[in-house]
Chain A
Amino acid sequence: DGGITQSPKYLFRKEGQNVTLSCEQNLNHDAMYWYRQDPGQGLRLIYYSQIVNDFQKGDIAEGYSVSREKKESFPLTVTSAQKNPTAFYLCASSPTQGFTDTQYFGPGTRLTVL
């Protein structure tokens, strides 16, 4: 089945540690996105990528980093510079570079800082 997978489902981190969240899609989509969701709020865009080896900052990129070395993969690293990283992280993808298509979401990773 085609879709978006995120791992792990739950992640615990100690303060000061970097962690990397995985996002893989087998939909052959060009564009990929990372969003952050906080309780009782909508989603906010962290980073997005239109094509391999290219990515752009979203609205809340500080303390995060990404890479796009393969079309199907878009990992997100939450660095120790992110002041409040506890949140639900959602990866999404859409078919074309032009951002005119619907975005499809993965199941999410819940990150908790201990």
Chain B
Amino acid sequence: GDSVTQMEGPVTLSEEAFLTINCTYTATGYPSLFWYVQYPGEGLQLLLKATKADDKGSNKGFEATYRKETTSFHLEKGSVQVSDSAVYFCALRGVGIGSSYKLIFGSGTRLLVRP
């Protein structure tokens, strides 16, 4: 079945450092891909998404490119801030009849940014 694999955390960076959080997926066809962010004690917020191969999603300085050839959707940011500290979830929505109704989530990657 469909699945998402994320790099394990925590990822600890200093402010203004470059961020990469790896995400790879297994799915048939061309799923839609998402990054969600969860701040402590809160629900998930959509960060960005991409719905077809080579699409680049971007928001608040974060970017991710849908790479069909490597089945990846890595999250990047050029210069992180302390306020970016949160848990980041990669997710996909499949295209089949039995998989398009739900999101499949990775286990999440905690990011800690030090001043």
Binds B, one of A14-22, A36-44, A69-77: A36-44
Contact of B101 among A42, A48, A90, A102 (CB under 8 A): A48
| A41 and B108 form a contact (CB under 8 A) | yes
| A102 and B105 form a contact (CB under 8 A) | no
Bitwise interface map of B from 5 to 42 toward A, beta carbon under 8 Å scored 1, else 0: 00000000000000000000000000000101000011
- Size of the A side of the interface (Cβ < 8 Å), in residues, is 26
Bitwise interface map of A from 1 to 28 toward B, beta carbon under 8 Å scored 1, else 0: 0001010000000000000000000000
Closest to B9 in A: A40
CA distance in complex: A92, B41 (Å): 16
Contacts of B42 in A (CB 8 A): 107-108
CB distance from A7 to the nearest CB of B (A): 13
Residues from 35 to 71 in B contacting A, C-beta threshold 8 Å: 36, 41-46, 49
CA distance in complex: A48, B103 (Å): 11
What number of A-B contacts does a CB cutoff of 8 Å give?
Answer: 53
| B107 and A40 form a contact (CB under 8 A) | yes
| A102 and B46 form a contact (CB under 8 A) | yes
CB distance from A96 to the nearest CB of B (A): 12
CB distance from A102 to the nearest CB of B (A): 6
Contacts of B106 in A (CB 8 A): 42
**A102-B34 in contact given A33-B102, A41-B107, A58-B102 (Cβ < 8 Å):** yes
- Size of the B side of the interface (Cβ < 8 Å), in residues, is 22
B100 close to chain A: CB less than 8 A: yes
**A45-B49 in contact given A90-B43, A105-B43, A105-B44 (Cβ < 8 Å):** no
The 7 A-B residue pairs with the shortest CB-CB distance, nearest first, are A42-B105, A105-B43, A105-B44, A99-B101, A107-B43, A45-B102, A108-B43
List 13 other contacts, CB 8 Å, given A6-B43, A99-B102.
Answer: A42-B89, A42-B104, A42-B107, A43-B89, A48-B101, A50-B101, A99-B101, A100-B100, A102-B34, A102-B46, A102-B49, A107-B42, A107-B43
